[in-house]
Structure 1
Amino acid sequence: MTRERSHSTVDLLRLATAGSVDDGKSTLVGRLLYDTKSVLADQLDAVHRASVDRGLATPDLSLLVDGLRSEREQGITIDVAYRYFATPRRSFVLADTPGHVQYTRNTVTGASTAQLAILLVDARKGVVEQTRRHAAVLALLGVPRLVLAVNKIDLTGYDETTFALIAKEFTAHVTALGYEESAVLAVPVSALLGDNVVERSGHTPWYDGPTLLEHLETVPVREDPDDAPFRFPVQYVIRPRTAEHPDYRGYAGQVASGVVRPGQEITLYPSGLRSRVTRIDTPDGPLAEARAGQSVTLLLADDLDIARGDLVGAGEAPQVTDELDATLCWLSEKPLRAGARVLVKHGTRTVPAIVTELSALFDEQSLSVSETPQALSLNEIGRVQLRTAEPLPVDPYTALPRTGAFLVVDQADGGTVAAGLVGAPLPVLETRRALVSPGP
C-alpha cells in the first residue's frame, strides 16, 4: 500500500523575509514569534530584562533575533537564519535574511526554496533601491507569491494615502517583473505595536484585507507535483561489506523532484545506463515510495558503476550537456569577466568550467537589459555561457528548480561566487528588450 502524504507536509509553508536596513524586519520576525507563542519562556524573560535595562516600557521584540545581527557585525559569516513557528492551521519555516546591500546574496539562499516572500518597506521611505533589487531576485528565483509589509505605518499617523501610493508603486514594479496582481498582497503593519501582524488594527479601518498571519495561514501552498520527472542526485554509495550484508550496495541521497517506488525503471546520468529500483531504504525501514525532500537509499536491480555526483532519473530526460546557458546572480566583490575559470557545483557533482561569454546584464532598478557587458559586479544579475569540463545532466530552472540550479565556486579559495539558474530568462528580458536601444 502506498504511504499517504503526511498532514504536516501539506500544511507547511516555507517563506523568506527581505528588506532594507532599519525597516523593522527583526521586529516583525520577533512579533510573529511572540504573538504565535513560539518563544521559550527563558528567551522572553531575557528580552523583558534587556528592554527594561534600555528604559523601554514594552518588550523590544527585535532582541529575539538581534543576536544573529551582532554576530554579523563581528564579522562572522552566516548565510541565513531559519526560524520555526506554528499555529493550529499551519507550520512555518521562515528564512530570515539580512538587509545590508552586501548581503543580497543571502536573499538568494533564503528564497531559493521559498513559496512566499515578505518584503518590508518603511512607510516613511516607501519603495527604495534595495526593495527593487530584492524583488528582482525573487522574480528570478520564481518565488510564486509576494507580500509587501508596509511597516511603521503608525509613524505616518496610519495614513491611507501613504499606504496606497507605496502599494501601487510596488505592484507596478513586480508586475513588470512578471508577477500577476493576484500573487501580490500589500499589508499596512506596525511590527512594534502589532498592527495587522497577527491582530487586526482598529487604527486602519480603511484596510479590509487579511492580517499578515491570516494571509500566511491561508495562502495556497504549491506542492511538488506527483507527475514531475524523478530526480535523485547520488550523494554517497553505501557498501557495508559485513557478514550480515555481504552484497549490499545502496545509493544514498535526497529526492530532488518527483516520486520513486520499488519496481520503477530508472536511467543513470550522464552515462545513460538503465536499471530498476528494487527497494527504498531508510533508518526506520523500507518505504513504499519516496517523494521530493525525503532522504533515502535506493537499491537497484543491476550492479552499475555509480558514484557520488551521478543523477538517477525517470520520466522526461534531463539535458546532458557541457554548454550551460544560464542566468547568474554574482555574489563576489571580484568582478566576473569572460574567460574566467571557475568550478560549477551542480547537485552533488563539482566540475571545472570556463565562462565563455557574458551576453546580457539586467538593471533591476530600471528594469532594462544591456547586451554584452564587460563584467558582472557584486549583486549584479546577468546572462552567461559556461563550458564545463564534463557533461552535466541539467533541467531548465523554471521546470525543475532543484536540478536547474547550480553554484559557481572560486577555484582559488573555494568560496561561492555566484548562484546560477539554467535557462532561466532574465526578468523582463523578453518584454523589455525592444525598449533597450544603444545610445546615440
Structure 2
Amino acid sequence: MNPDYGDCKFCLKLKDHSENRCEFSEVIAKCQEWVASLKGRMPEDVLIQCQTGSFMLSGNQTMVVIVGMEGSGKSSIISGLNGRGVILKNEEMHRDFKCKYVTLRTNEKKAMTFSFIEPRGVENMLTGLSIADCAIIVIDSTQGYPINNIVDSEDNIVDPASLAVSMGLKTLICCVNKMDVVGYSQTVYNQLRDGAITYFKSIGIEESNVTFVPVSAQTGDGLLDKSEEMAWYEGLTLIGQLHTLDRESRTSRRLRLVVDSTEVKGTVVLIRCRVHYGILLSGRRVVFCPGNWAVYVDKMRVGGLEVKYAWPGEAVELEVKGPVNEMMEQGCVGAAIIDDKLKVAMGIEVEILVTNSKVEVTTGLQGYLCSCHKASFPVIVSQIKESVDAATRIRNKDTPTSLKIGQIGVVSLTPLVEVVVETVSDYMSLGRIIFCKEEEEKKDVVAVGVVVDVDHTELPKLNMEQLNLGKPVRIK
C-alpha cells in the first residue's frame, strides 16, 4: 500500500524511492541532501513518509511552554489542538524535569511544528521557561488571573508572567479558558482581559506584547476554528495565533550544540547533545568547550536512525573516534571549527528578578550556583551594578548593596569554573539563567534572568593538521 503523499513536495520527490522499497534511512538521507541544497531556503517543516515509517524534519521548531493555575485546563488545551495535527511525541520526560512533552505538527498551509511543555511545579516551570520560544498563560474564566496569588505558601514568586518576562520571553499568549462555563460572556472576557493587562503593565509587559484568546478546551471553541458562540471575538484562534509567532530563525545561525552526556565504547566516543542553532552535518569538524576538544563527526544518529544532517531542536548522538582520557561534561558547548570561535566566560553580567523571600542577593562567595542551558556552575557575585524599574525595565543609576524578593537588578558574576554562555540577544536559549543558592545539600532557586554581557576569553587557534581523521584533540 502506497503512502499518502498529499501535496508535500519532499514526499513527491521521494515517491520513486519509497516505491522501490529502499531502506527508510536512505529515504531520510536523500531528503536531507535535498534540504541542505536549499541553503537556508527550506520550507518551515517537512513530513517525510514512506512504507516503513515517517520522519520529521523541523526547519524551525517552536518550543511552547504552557503554564497556569492547577485545574485551569492546560492539558485539555493541548489535547484540543490535536484536532488538526499529528502528535509526534507524547511522553513523560526524565525524572529531573517532570512534565508533559508533546510535539504537534499542524497541517495548515504554513506547516509548523510545536513542542508543548506542560511543567509540573515551580522549579520545572522555570526550566520550561528557560528553553521556551513562547509562553501560553492559561486563565480560568471562573477564577480570573491570580493577581493576588502570585506567591506561594513560602512567599516565593510563582507568577508565570513575571518569570517569563524576566527570562526574555517578551511575547505572551493568554488563553481565557472555560468560556462555556461563563456562557461565552463577552463582559466576563473583557473584565478578565482588562485586569490582566493592568497587572502585566505593572511588571513591564506592554499590552502590544500580549495576545488574548477566549477558548473552551472542553468544547473546542476558539482552539482551531472560530466559535459561533463567540461571534463578538474578532481575533484569531489559538492555532492561528501560534502561526503568527515571529520565530527566531535558528537554521541560518552559526552552529551551537550543547552536550548532555558522553560515553566511551571501545575506540568510539559517543557524544549525546542537542542542536540549538545551525545545521550539523556528518563529517564536520566540531570543537567543544570548555575542555577545548576538537572532534571529527564520523557518524550521527537521531532517534536511533543514522542521518547526515541534524536540525535545531533535535537530540543527536555523535560518534567520534577515540578514546580519550578525559571526557567532556554536561553543558559543554560545540561549534563548527571552520567558521566560529567559542569563548570561555571570565565574567558574566546578568539581569535577574529575585524570586525567593528568604534569600537576599549580596556580593561575595555565598554558595551561589548558576544554571544556564545544560551547564551548572558555582559563581561569585562580584558586584550589584544597578537596580531596574520593574514597570519600565529602565536601569536606575543607584548601586544597591543587596536585592530582595521582587526586585530586579544588574549583577556581575564571576564563574569559578570554565563555562561557555552567550548573551540572550545573540543566542537566546544559551543566555537564560536560573540563579540558586546551595546550603546543606539543598538547592533553592533565588532568582531568574538573562545574560546581557559576557567577558570572553578566546580559545587558542587550532592547527587543522592536528585533527587526524576524527581522533579527539585537546587544543593547547
Counterpart position of 1:322: 346
In structure 2, C-alpha distance between the alignment counterparts of 1:104 and 1:237, rounded to whole Å? 29
Q: 1:235 to 1:33 in 2, by over 3 A?
A: closer
CA contact (8 A) 1:361 1:373 kept: yes
Q: Which of 114, 118, 121 is the matching residue for 1:96? A: 118
Is there any run of 5+ residues in structure 1 with no aligned partner, and where? 39-67, 69-76, 242-246, 426-440
> In the TM superposition, what whole-angstrom CA distance separates every residue of 1:136-173 from its partner, at most 9, and x where no partner exists?
32223333642222345456654435534654565576
Counterpart position of 2:296: 277
Counterpart position of 1:341: 367
1:135 aligns with 2:157: no
| 1:25 Cα deviation after fit | 1.5
- What SS does structure 1 have at the residue aligned with 2:417? strand
Q: Which of 235, 259, 280 is the matching residue for 1:209? A: 235
In structure 1, C-alpha distance between the alignment counterparts of 2:375 and 2:326, rounded to whole Å? 15
- What SS does structure 2 have at the residue aligned with 1:256? strand
More moved, 162-171 vs 227-236:
162-171
Counterpart position of 2:72: 25
| 1:389 Cα deviation after fit | 1.5
| 1:395 Cα deviation after fit | 0.9
The two structures have a TM-score, normalised by structure 2, of 0.62
Counterpart position of 1:54: none
Letter in 2 for 1:135: A
Aligned counterparts, 1:84-233, within 5 A: 84=102, 86=104, 89=107, 92-97=114-119, 104-123=122-141, 128=147, 133-143=159-169, 145-153=171-179, 158-164=184-190, 166-167=192-193, 170=196, 177=204, 181=208, 184-191=210-217, 194-198=220-224, 200-216=226-242, 218-220=243-245, 222=247, 224-233=249-258
Q: Which of 317, 320, 328 is the matching residue for 1:299? A: 320
More moved, 259-268 vs 393-402:
259-268
| 1:20 Cα deviation after fit | 4.3
Counterpart position of 1:312: 334
CA contact (8 A) 2:268 2:319 kept: no
> In the TM superposition, what whole-angstrom CA distance separates every residue of 1:246-300 from its partner, at most 9, and x where no partner exists?
x434444333332222453444434556x46242333846432233332222526
In structure 2, C-alpha distance between the alignment counterparts of 1:105 and 1:336, rounded to whole Å? 19
Q: Which of 260, 273, 276 is the matching residue for 1:253? A: 273
Task: State the aligned residue count.
Answer: 373
Is there any run of 5+ residues in structure 2 with no aligned partner, and where? 1-29, 36-44, 48-55, 85-91, 151-157, 454-476
Q: 1:390 to 1:83 in 2, by over 3 A?
A: closer
- What SS does structure 2 have at the residue aligned with 1:342? strand
In structure 1, C-alpha distance between the alignment counterparts of 2:62 and 2:450, rounded to whole Å? 25
Letter in 2 for 1:240: K
More helix, by proportion: 1
> In the TM superposition, what whole-angstrom CA distance separates every residue of 1:196-224 from its partner, at most 9, and x where no partner exists?
345543332221223334444x3447365
CA contact (8 A) 2:272 2:315 kept: no
In structure 1, C-alpha distance between the alignment counterparts of 2:300 and 2:323, rounded to whole Å? 17
Indicate the percent of aligned positions where both proteins have the same amino acid: 18
Counterpart position of 1:240: 265
The two structures have a TM-score, normalised by structure 1, of 0.67
In structure 2, C-alpha distance between the alignment counterparts of 1:177 and 1:376, rounded to whole Å? 18
Aligned counterparts, 1:399-414, within 5 A: 399-409=426-436, 410=438, 412-414=440-442
Q: 1:233 to 1:104 in 2, by over 3 A?
A: closer
In structure 2, C-alpha distance between the alignment counterparts of 1:84 and 1:262, rounded to whole Å? 28
**Superposition RMSD on alpha carbons, in Å?**
4.3
CA contact (8 A) 1:319 1:395 kept: no
